[in-house]
Structure 1
Amino acid sequence: MNQDKLRLLFKLQEHPMAPAVQLAKEVQISPPTAKAWLDSLKKEQVYIGVQPNLRVRRLGLEIDDFLLEVDSYNALVKIEQFCEKHPYTLYRARVFGGSSQGIMVQFRQPDKARKHLEDALEILKERGYIKNIRELPTLNPVYGSTYTRPRLEAWDPKRMVWVFDWDEWWKKESTKSNRTIEEIEDAKGRIPLDKLDAKILEMITRDARQKNTEIIESIGLDKSQMGIQQDFSKRLKKLNEAVESYRVFINWNHFDVYNTPLIIANADKEITEQLIRKLQMGEFPFGSSIRQTKTGFVWSARMPSAHFSELISLVWKISIDYELLIIDYKNSQRYALWAETFDPEQNDWKADREFCLEKPLMSIDIL
């Protein structure tokens, strides 16, 4: 990849929703060249797309995370089938390490649907497909969690290495985090939605860089009909109130990033909060997410082999003890919000037992 293409990718990561004309100006190339390069980068899957980080509570949803341990490969496949059929699956990824193997799953669902999910997982456990169910804390910043975006400026394309001094980063004084903005946004209350809003949400959670006219056509509307584009713009503005930020999904194989550790650590509360503050400062160069637990933290990241050992050394130094698992990112899947989960008659998300438990389990021959 030439230097200008890399700079364009940098700018896209900084401004995921910026039009090609703006990105071209910042990189000092022509708009047609910028558009052609963006198209080729996506075609070559250097980047996969742009998705929103949603303030799900403003949409009337919650995020629930679980680590499911299994005894066999067949059991793992069965749980993946369940995730494919469950209407509210957000993410799944195989994990392995030590004596543990299984799958990490994430669901974006109405709170009333949680009981049905818990019951479904218990049924899978009773049938022998799940050995153990471990709930992970949510990634909501209000609960002391945070994530970091990869900093491509830390990548040295000449030497093909990531430049980062772990010791200096840990020694550097960190300021106390301020979650006021997220707390205020979370407290604003639910945004009123209808079925058309749900269809728009499905499209932008698939790829937010689509043109408005493309989304309009995808949801079955006529873009040439009078008032349609104006109504769409108003709806999109309303839905953007539930968007914290936009994120570019990059294929990190192109940047020597292969290791995806998941660390479950017991650590002092002060150490955990110090680690979270340092990650929130924005200097950590690798994509990661950290969740604070009652006894420590859960930290996952993507990084090259040269920095993997540095991460483990740091965790070993600051924690009481820890468990190391590896996320199999090649066998992971992220799901868009599904518009069919919205009930137009009730003007709310579906949360009945038949929809959330019986249909998914019956479709994989469990019930």
Structure 2
Amino acid sequence: MNTLSLREEEYLLLQHILKDPIIPYSKLAEKIKKSSPTVKKRMDTLLEQNIISSFHAEYHPESVGLESHIYLLKINSIDKYLIVEKILDYHPYLVVRQRCYGGITGVFLKVHIPIGSLNNFNIFLNYLVDSDLVEEIVHSSTIGQGIKTRIDLTYWNRSNSKWFFKWDLWKKNIDVVDYVPKFDYYQKISREKPKNVLNQLKYLDFQILKELVNDPTQKYANISKQLNVPQYTLSRRKKFLSKNVIRNYLVEFDRSFFGLEDELVFKAICSQRAMSKIIYLLRELILPFESDFRETDKGFLWKILLPPKDKLELFNILWSLFPDLQIMMLDPHTTVTKEFNPDNYSFIEQSWKDSEEFMVLQVLEKARGELLLA
């Protein structure tokens, strides 16, 4: 239960930070009509209470020559899961893994692998199947940039920590895309891809990107000193990365404080036309919860944080459109997120390391060294 309370200034700060995580303190001070020292003091309080825990950047894998794939690994025992998670953590291209329950019980896995290296990664996963650790592999290849929504505290009551969002407009507009003239436009939105700028990146860009992914709020002076590069060069390259590589700046917050206990994945196999209805709703209507909607090769995957009471509301809306809808609940306490790793790139060969030796054999050898595999 949430036992903390927010001052008015803290609440206003959170509203702006959750929408724009890297907004400068000076602009925050203007928006809430307080001094910069007051803003810093309130921010320090939010961090000390762990209401806000960290900031990071999310990059477009396609812009740096990688491609995104999502897997659901069905595992039939907790003992096998504990082994699989340790093996997965050895993989150099792991991005996120979480325990999942529901339509598929096992592991939710996201990887960014070199373009054209899918076969090698599948060899790695199939070895886990052959070793009787994984029962089934469900693969989804994501397409384009997708649609991301941010948490909006306008629909959260800070006095009782309750959300009061109404789904009426979603229900009312569920079929509107059938006759709006923007059908083709909505159909293309989630397929938009960023330009691949890998050939324009230098070693320094990889180092800067790593720092931004880890903490984009770092001061230029600190990054400049750490990377031994002039601040004007850092500023110029950061602008390039922000324009061409960075997808979003994100803030990690205490989900339980805001009553967002349920992290769900909705998975559907459907036509482009059916999926465009959801894209329409995401683009045209309000959704005050953090979510990431991605088109896949067969339909879509939608990862979303929701209060318990809103879970059934959204499920019923989606179920009316997609009878074969699958829903999985993710366990946030088992989440492992790996940082962007420039060491996976060979600056001598000017390419990502994608050999079977690197993506399969070395990982399995590490697992055997820890007695995780025979």
In the superposition, the TM-score normalised over structure 2's length comes to 0.87
2:61 maps to a residue whose letter is: V
**2:250 maps to what in 1?**
247
Distance 1:86 1:295 in 2: 26
1:88-103, aligned counterparts within 5 Å? 88-97=93-102, 100-103=104-107
Give the alignment partner of residue 198 of structure 1, picking from 188, 191, 206: 206
**1:41 maps to what in 2?**
46
**1:288 maps to what in 2?**
291
Q: Cα deviations across residues 207-250 of structure 1 (Å, max 9, x unaligned)? A: 1111122223444x2x6xxxx22222222222222123322222
**1:11 maps to what in 2?**
16
Task: Name the count of aligned residue pairs.
Answer: 357
Residue aligned with 1:53, SS? strand
**1:345 maps to what in 2?**
348
- Root-mean-square deviation (Å): 2.5
Distance 2:119 2:139 in 1: 14
* Shift in alpha-carbon separation, 1:148–1:137, aligned structure 2, 3 A: farther
Give the alignment partner of residue 116 of structure 1, picking from 110, 115, 120: 120
Distance 1:104 1:185 in 2: 24
* Shift in alpha-carbon separation, 1:340–1:20, aligned structure 2, 3 A: same
Greater Cα offset, 246-255 or 258-267: 258-267
1:157-172, aligned counterparts within 5 Å? 157-172=158-173
Distance 2:9 2:285 in 1: 24
* Shift in alpha-carbon separation, 1:67–1:182, aligned structure 2, 3 A: closer
* Shift in alpha-carbon separation, 1:179–1:57, aligned structure 2, 3 A: farther
Q: CA deviation at 1:287?
A: 1.4
Residue aligned with 2:117, SS? helix
* Shift in alpha-carbon separation, 1:68–1:39, aligned structure 2, 3 A: same
1:198-217, aligned counterparts within 5 Å? 198-217=206-225
**2:81 maps to what in 1?**
76
Q: Cα deviations across residues 1-24 of structure 1 (Å, max 9, x unaligned)? A: 122101101111222222111111
Give the alignment partner of residue 364 of structure 2, picking from 347, 355, 361: 361
Asked if 1:322 is matched to 2:322, the reply is: no
Q: Retained in 1: the 8 A contact 2:156–2:162?
A: yes
Distance 2:152 2:203 in 1: 37
Distance 1:254 1:307 in 2: 16
Distance 1:326 1:274 in 2: 23
**1:134 maps to what in 2?**
138
Q: Cα deviations across residues 57-116 of structure 1 (Å, max 9, x unaligned)? A: 221111111111111212212222123211111111110126x31001111121143322
1:205-244, aligned counterparts within 5 Å? 205-219=213-227, 221=228, 228-240=230-242, 241-244=244-247
Distance 1:180 1:230 in 2: 38
1:166 maps to a residue whose letter is: W
**2:90 maps to what in 1?**
85
Distance 1:293 1:3 in 2: 42
Distance 1:352 1:8 in 2: 47
Percent of residue pairs bearing the same amino acid type = 23
Residue aligned with 2:200, SS? coil
2:208 maps to a residue whose letter is: I
2:111 maps to a residue whose letter is: F
Q: Retained in 1: the 8 A contact 2:19–2:152?
A: no
Residue aligned with 2:292, SS? strand
Distance 1:53 1:281 in 2: 24
Could you list the runs of 5+ residues in structure 1 that have no partner in the other structure? none
* Shift in alpha-carbon separation, 1:104–1:126, aligned structure 2, 3 A: same
Give the alignment partner of residue 105 of structure 1, picking from 109, 128, 132: 109
Distance 1:294 1:336 in 2: 26
Q: Cα deviations across residues 107-129 of structure 1 (Å, max 9, x unaligned)? A: 11211433221111011110111
Residue aligned with 1:86, SS? coil
Q: CA deviation at 1:351?
A: 1.8
Distance 1:248 1:140 in 2: 23
Q: Retained in 1: the 8 A contact 2:262–2:307?
A: yes
1:66 maps to a residue whose letter is: Y
1:54 maps to a residue whose letter is: Y
In the superposition, the TM-score normalised over structure 1's length comes to 0.88
Greater Cα offset, 243-252 or 18-27: 243-252
**1:149 maps to what in 2?**
150
Could you list the runs of 5+ residues in structure 2 that have no partner in the other structure? 1-5
